[in-house]
Amino acid sequence: MKDIINYSCLDSPFGPVFIAKNIRGVCFVNLSKISEARFQSLLRKRFRKDAIRDDKKLKNAIRELSSYFNGHRVNFKSILDLSIGTGFQRKVWEKVSEIPYGELKSYKWIADEIGNPNGVRAVGNAVGKNPVPPIIPCHRVIRSDGKLGGFSSGIALKKWLLRLEK
């Protein structure tokens, strides 16, 4: 059986959200406003596999994300495949996934928690490469001075997600 990437799209309050999974689990969520063709291209480039739309294979993940985007607290249960990340990135993503709904933590806190107190910049880079926002809630990570820092899908969307959780 050929390993493929299945994907789907859901309408969110801020526009289309594309989500993809392989045989191991959800591997990519795109919150940025792009076309379906552009998303397919991103998947081929990132995973080097064929991308086929299959809404049925992603119905549970779509249901979870839709519920979240509509303001409901969700404990995501979708199985994830984070194998695209390095060991360090996966360690950071695991720690970020522990940040409770509605709470904020700093890049420095994450660096300290994973035993790399001088790795704040590396933590920031790993957070920025999170392949499955908001399932791994990288929008809950801010700078130590209280400023928002970056967000791969733009600061406006980070603010929107944080307001959603308040």
Domain boundary among 35, 69, 103: 69
For the chain, the domain total comes to: 2
The answer for residues whose C-beta is within 8 angstroms of residue 16's C-beta and 6 or more apart is 9, 10, 33, 36
What's this model's pTM, rounded to 2 decimal places?
0.92
Within a domain: residue 91? yes
Residues 62 and 32 in one domain: yes
pLDDT tens track, the chain, 166 positions: 467 899 999 999 999 999 999 999 999 999 988 999 999 999 999 998 889 999 999 999 999 999 999 999 888 999 999 999 999 999 999 999 999 999 999 999 999 999 999 999 999 999 999 999 999 999 999 999 999 988 888 899 999 999 999 8
Report the distance separating Cα 121 and Cα 14, nearest Å. Answer: 29
Q: Which of 138, 141, 142, 157 is catalytic?
A: 138
Q: Look up the CATH number of the domain holding residue 32.
A: 3.30.160.70
- In sequence order, the β-bridge partners of residue 10 are 17
Tokens linked to 8 = 């789907």
Please say if 138 is a catalytic residue. yes
Beta bridge partners of 105: 141
Q: Report the CATH number at residue 98.
A: 1.10.10.10
Say if 77 falls within a structural domain: no
In this structure, are 35 and 97 located in the same domain? Answer: no
Residue 15: give the domain boundaries: 5-69
Q: Name the amino acid, one letter, at 50.
A: D
| 121 and 151 both lie in a single domain | yes
